Amino acid sequence: METDLIIVREYCQKSHVDPLFIVSLEEDGLIDIQVVDGERYLLGSQLQDLERFVRWHEDLSVNTEGIGVIHELMGRMHEMQQELKQLRREVRLLRTNYLEEIL
């Protein structure tokens, strides 16, 4: 399985992101950095989260602790939305079965 790796140094240069911000995200467990031959790499699969974190930090002045909290809460909200969808499907199924029984 091939994994896309992004060189952190190059990402920071092209995106005008402070490398220390990336380090703080890693220290807070929000992203994982791999070191290969002394070069730091970010998994391509984390790029979407990283860009979201950068926007929150730059546009909203949210620090890394706040980013962690927001990320956790959004994850919980997504789980609750999925649970709600499943419950709605189950209610529809029960309602359909009930209506079939009484008719």
CB atoms within 10 A of CB 50: 21
- Does the pLDDT at position 99 exceed 90? no
pTM of the model: 0.81
Give the sign of the dihedral formed by CA 93, CA 94, CA 96, CA 100.
positive
- Does the pLDDT at position 2 exceed 70? no
What mean pLDDT is reported for the chain? 94
- Counting the structural domains of the chain, the total is 1
Q: Are 44 and 5 in contact (CB under 8 A)?
A: yes
Q: State the CATH number of the domain containing residue 31.
A: 1.10.1660
| Domain interval for residue 78 | 5-102
